[in-house]
Structure 1
Amino acid sequence: MTEGKRVRRGPFRAGEDILLISPKGEEHLITLTPGKAFGTHKGNLPHDDLIGKEDGGRAWTAMGSEYRAFRPTYMQFIMNQKRHAQIIYPKDTGAILMWADIFPGAAVVEAGIGWGALTIKLLEAVGPTGKVVSYEVREDFAESGAGTVRRYLGACENHEVKVRDIHLGIDEREVDRIVLDLPEPWQAVPHAREALAPGGIVLSYLPSTIQVKQLCDRYMEEGGFAEPETFEVILRPWHVKGNSVRPVQWMFSHSAFLVVTRKITTTPDPGGR
């Protein structure tokens, strides 16, 4: 994996994505461009005033409105982009990486790539010795998802995008992990069984209970998989200010169910059991 646009330390550089936070806490993701300005109702903030500043520094508009400038976290980068494809939300991304057990050096197949949010974390988790192959049936999603990955990580030699319907088959063999963000993942179950190495994990991301039921039934019908585990992730933020400590009035509740299972071997029992 080559170094991309994301810089970890040092002064802000031209061409880098940074996050501006207004006095009211509003977040704005911008790409620093010499000669350009970020416009506000209290005057412009020239990008040249930001280039060379340290992470977490302050900058002022022409009318004196103060902004904070930070390098965006992964969550801020993903949530502040303009996008035309649905994403896997950061609250679920961590659970996917843990329950699918994505490890350095792993060979991972995913479908579909969508906006590329999960792909970024899969690539970071497998590292330069691993590989991620993204199947995407829509060419526009394949292009936008790959573009998001390049924008965040730069060129990744260990990332391959295939404009293909994974329901028709998986080319790869001895794959360690498969992650499916598809409306009908049960159609890919027999292909996943063929592609996975023994003990390999397949994880599906599904919004409805009907989809979960169809997928779990298919695993039982096809055989070759352990009993799947199903759960959802609920995030409940809290407000802590002075003596006021309470849950906020909103919460990240249901986004999707995660269904996880493993490939099992079907060697005949020598005892006839």
Structure 2
Amino acid sequence: MGRIGAANNLGTVIGPVSGGLLAAVGLVFPLYGVAALTALMAIATALWLPQSPHQPTARTVSLGKVLRSGLGAYADPRLRDLLLTGVMLFMSFALIQQTLGFLFQDHFGLSPAAAARALGLTMMAAAVTSLFGQIVVVQWLRAPATLLVALAVPALGVGALILWLADRQLVMSFAVLLVGLGLGFGMPAIMSLASLRVSSEEQGRVAGLASACPALGFILGPLVGTGLYTLDHRWPYLLVLSLMVPLAWLAWRLVRSAAASA
């Protein structure tokens, strides 16, 4: 489950990197890249994806009931703190990712192409630190999931603080490295902890709910972040910094719960 979360997380980080680099060549090139990747996925699915052992049954539940059940899972006491942590982690990352290019362009007087190139390189560096966190710390050192969550919060918080205060592009890029590292720690831990809290019959449901955290974060983050950016260029990072308060509380709850069950 942690590896599935790591793969999801890597795609979320590497996607903006690729888009930023392609946009430096031409602003519409990322759209061509999406079309090409979709074609490759269709071919790979047809050739190599194994058949699912699941046997479909007649649908007896209404769409409304399914939606209510899915949204109600965020109130499930077994999963509530983990899912909220995952949503806020990705909301924080989305806030930074969606506004940083504008900040580079406005604060340093860059052209749109130059700003896209700078953002792409910065996000590529964030992808490297995220990959380091997932491969070295998560997979190789096998750090406990609760420790990973506890490390993710200060990494994100320090990164947001630097972005709020810094006036140099290199320093801002270093801040995004910390944000990528925090995301690399956080989401695999959320996936693995969630899977351990339910029975084997609920694993598929939990995997779907945890995978929805990035989507919810990327819905809320750009919406809130760009709105705040129009008021003040640094306010999105101040919001991320303020989100560290509930995130720190949630991380403390996770660590305390793990210590009590040990």
Work out which structure has the larger RCO, using CA pairs closer than 8 Å and 6 or more positions apart in sequence.
Answer: 2
TM-score by length of 2: 0.25
TM-score by length of 1: 0.24
Query: Which structure has the greater CA radius of gyration?
Result: 1
